[in-house]
Amino acid sequence: MREDQMTPEQRWEERRRKDPLIHQFEGELREKLGLPEADFHRVRHDRWRSILEQLADRFADRTRDRKRGLHWANTNGYSPWAMERLAGCWHTDCLTWFYRLPDLLPGEEFVYLVLEPAGGWFWLFEGRMEAVIRALAILNDTGFLGLGWPDYYLASRKFRWIIGFDHHDVVSLAGEGFRLEGFDGFPSPP
């Protein structure tokens, strides 16, 4: 279909699909991780929109934003369902907080990683928990491969929980399935 025959939504979707930056970002990150695609990869263009919508429906307070978009933790807040299940918010060290994830989420093998690099775009990846932790370590060491530090989210593939990290170095946990007994928070910033 030619671009002039597409709806604005279809044009936006097509531009996102062809965005060379996400492909470059994924390739560079996977090369640095040295992981097979099965362990960490960008969600395919035919699935990402549906997954982001499901995450927004479950976790985003869609009543406050003119676009009713996916700006959870630092702009609009979480949905009423998620707020009833808010496990906490912590000011933390951006370089190390994610190493505590296996303690909080035992048995979670694959998770979504949602990056908001700029301009309202969302990049969606999925990977094994240990691969996502390694990816976050590399991304923090490299200024997110030169993109700067975006807000980002980790989410259950079953939409049970979400963890937000915003540019104020605040981690928020909302949903179900966290193991909080004995959890004493995240590392404080230096």
End-to-end CA distance of the chain: 53
DSSP 3-state assignment of 124? strand
Predicted structure pTM score: 0.84
Q: Please give the chain's pLDDT, 190 residues, in tens.
A: 677 777 877 766 666 656 667 778 888 888 888 988 899 999 988 898 899 889 988 988 877 654 555 555 555 678 889 889 999 989 999 889 999 999 999 888 999 999 887 666 788 999 999 999 999 998 888 878 777 777 889 999 999 999 999 888 889 999 999 999 888 888 887 7
> In sequence order, what are the residues at sequence separation of 6 or more whose Cβ sits closer than 8 angstroms to the Cβ of residue 102?
129, 130, 133
